[in-house]
Amino acid sequence: QVQLVESGGGLVQPGGSVRLSCAVSGTIFRIYNMDWYRQIPGKEREWVATVNADGSTNSADSVKGRSTISRDNAKTAVYLQINSLKPEDTAVYYCQLSVPGRAYWGKGTLVTVSA
């Protein structure tokens, strides 16, 4: 059974940083691309960043230049660090693993950016 568990969210001041973790179990983690998404209350879930199985990465314009996505295949985990946080980064952050025919999601971790 595939499980994804996010952690690392919390209350952060504007300009601060957050490092989110996603622990993955129940699958051959190293062969899959991993994604981070976020959802602001009342809005659609939006893609944030991807780390591919080969280690290459991509990120949305909203976090480009101030975020880093990475993976540790030995720990079967994926990470997202966002720096220079803004109030508009406030959201529930989810990690996703896609296999042919299905996407798996964690329950999310809330990041609140506020003074």
pLDDT for residue 26: 85
Looking at per-residue pLDDT, the higher value among 27 and 64 belongs to 64
SS3 54: coil
Termini Cα distance of the chain: 40
What is the tens place of the pLDDT at every residue in 35-51?
999 999 899 999 999 99
Q: How far is CA 4 from the centre of its chain?
A: 11
Those residues whose C-beta lies under 8 Å from the C-beta of residue 52, and which sit 6 or more positions away, are 33
